[in-house]
């Protein structure tokens, strides 16, 4: 219904095909943003006495978050074939200097990422761990944090181990007790040293209807009650090959 209304508005505003195409592109981009960021709900009900006692008996967990293709997708100046649909406006633009050259990154947030961070920050200590350069990863994390102070701990490319051309994330850098660490990353190679601590997630580039982050909330809610997250996550190792 919304789309039909937008088409009628565009037709009234423009009489020439060229102008109609331009208006349709703009209106369609706005429609994508409406669909992508529509209000969602995940009810966090008060804990029962039994659940509260259980939570008090275990350590607070750490959720390690990847950035690119997990929480966001970006492309920079000079990319000939960006994966994002033409006409889709970025959520924010970063201007950074790399090797003395200014570079603009056009960053798109995965659907529902703000809501996701708001919810899981109440359950976990959040840590950013990206294989990207610090000057870029820090700027992205700042934007996602949005002055909420929930993404305080951050690790970058220099904290990874380079092996056979890929960057591996050593979770012992984050905390020595691996029983309390969960990593969310779209790249199985990044956590191949700690598969028992990982939750796989499909790489995201541009799909405005993606709900992967919302779908993970029930699992993340439950994992915080475990004494060792590996006792649960190790049962799903076959999923790591899906992506």
**Which pTM was predicted?**
0.81
DSSP string across 108-163: EEPTTHHHHHHHHTTTSEEEEE-SS-HHHHHHHHHHHHTTS----EEE-GGGSEEE
Domain ranges of the chain: 47-71+110-241
Q: Which of 43, 68, 77, 91 is catalytic?
A: 68
Instruction: Name the class of domain 47-71+110-241.
Output: alpha beta
Burial of 102 (0-12, 13-18, 19+ CB in 10 A): exposed
The whole-angstrom separation of Cα 159 and Cα 181 is 17
Q: Helices (H), strands (E): how many in the chain?
A: 8, 10
Structure tokens at 188: 């199985």
pLDDT tens-digit map of 29-71: 444 444 445 556 778 788 999 999 999 999 999 999 999 999 9
The whole-angstrom separation of Cα 109 and Cα 107 is 7
pLDDT tens-digit map of 149-197: 999 999 999 999 999 888 999 999 999 999 999 999 999 999 999 999 9
> What's residue 40's pLDDT?
67
The whole-angstrom separation of Cα 156 and Cα 169 is 9
> What's residue 237's pLDDT?
67
Q: Which of 21, 43, 66, 170 is catalytic?
A: 66
The answer to whether residue 68 is catalytic is yes
The answer to whether residue 66 is catalytic is yes
């Amino acid at each position: 219904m919304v789309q039909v209304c937008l088409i009628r508005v565009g037709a009234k505003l423009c009489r020439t095909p060229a102008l109609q195409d331009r208006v349709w592109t703009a209106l369609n981009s706005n429609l994508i943003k409406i669909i992508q960021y529509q209000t969602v709900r995940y009810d966090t009900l008060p804990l029962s006495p039994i659940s509260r006692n259980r939570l008090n008996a275990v350590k607070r967990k750490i959720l390690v978050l990847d950035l690119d293709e997990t929480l966001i997708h970006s492309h920079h100046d000079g990319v000939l074939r960006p994966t994002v649909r033409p006409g889709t406006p970025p959520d924010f633009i970063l201007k950074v200097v790399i090797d003395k050259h200014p570079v603009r990154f056009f960053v798109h947030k995965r659907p529902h990422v703000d809501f996701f961070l708001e919810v899981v920050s109440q359950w976990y200590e959040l840590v950013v761990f990206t294989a990207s350069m610090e000057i870029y990863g820090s700027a992205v994390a700042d934007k996602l944090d949005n002055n909420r102070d929930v993404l305080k701990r951050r690790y970058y490319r220099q904290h990874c181990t380079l092996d056979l051309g890929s960057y591996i994330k050593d979770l012992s850098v984050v905390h020595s007790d691996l029983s309390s660490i969960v990593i969310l990353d779209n790249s199985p190679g990044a956590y191949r040293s700690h598969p028992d601590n990982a939750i796989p997630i499909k790489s995201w580039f541009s799909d405005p209807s993606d709900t992967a982050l919302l779908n993970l909330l029930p699992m993340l809610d439950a994992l915080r009650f475990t004494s060792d997250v590996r006792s649960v996550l190790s049962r799903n190792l076959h999923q790591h090959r899906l992506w």
